[in-house]
Amino acid sequence: MNRMILSAIVMAAVPFSAHALQIKQATENGQITAIVSAQEISRVSLSKDRIRMVNGDPEVDITHDSETGDVYLKPATAPLTKPLNLFISTEKGFTYQLLLMPEKVPSEQIIIRNEDAFDGSEDAQVWESKTTFHATIIDVLKATIGGVNLPAGYKKEVFKKEDVDRREHLILSRKYAISGSALQGIALEVRNTGKITTTLSERDLYSPEQAAIYLPHRKLEPGATVTVYLVRRRGGTSQ
């Protein structure tokens, strides 16, 4: 009899706690469907990554914890009655669409896990987590230039074959890269193939995953080259 009562209590508790912690598998530019509380705060977190930006929905107030990267969602007017659409960008360069279904449940916790965010050695992940993301970008940029040693867990790859991208009168050739878990530093040789002097700008070398850029000098005579140093977020986008 006691066993039957215990089983009944456990089964009765399931509907109230089944969604309390939701672990969602994700892919770059994929859609994630999850449950949020229609009345209370819900939390969205990433495994081995952090939320960088959220494009919100007026139905919820959004609080972004810059230290942890977590996002907290609170109904602007409770209870929520319609699904929410959010887009989040991550520090490793991923973008996800969230379709959040409100239910009359207590606070929810949603953890998003993307296997591609786990790239890189454990040493690199530990090093990157020791300080702020901004500081790691600066250190990776210095290491790419060659002013300091490679960060723990980072590996250098020299490109032996031509890896060329053409942009109007510019030829961009990757020379080497240092790669960790969240970031990659790249040495990029830029050649002016035009007939007049050109002035480089960050826009000429822009890519969506770019986190930092260092231009030793901007003016390039016809036929001249300069090595530019980039730091990019590692993710689903091309390098």
Quickly tell me which residue has 């074959």 as its tokens. 161
Quickly tell me which residue has 């969205």 as its tokens. 44
Q: What is the pLDDT of residue 28?
A: 86
Q: What is the pLDDT of residue 162?
A: 65
Q: What is the pLDDT of residue 69?
A: 87
Q: Residue 169: CB partners within 8 Å, gap ≥ 6?
A: 192, 193, 194, 198
pTM check: above 0.85: no
How far is the C-alpha of 182 from the C-alpha of 105, rounded, in Å?
A: 35
Q: What is the pLDDT of residue 105?
A: 93
Complete domains list, the chain, with CATH = 19-115 (2.60.40.1550), 122-233 (2.60.40)
Tell me the residue type at 19: H
CA distances from 34 to 39, 57, 96, 115 (A): 15, 15, 13, 19
Quickly tell me which residue has 């530093």 as its tokens. 185
Provide block-wise average pLDDT over 10 residues at a time, the chain (239 residues).
36 43 89 95 90 90 88 94 93 90 94 80 82 88 92 87 77 90 90 91 81 91 94 59
Quickly tell me which residue has 């009359």 as its tokens. 104
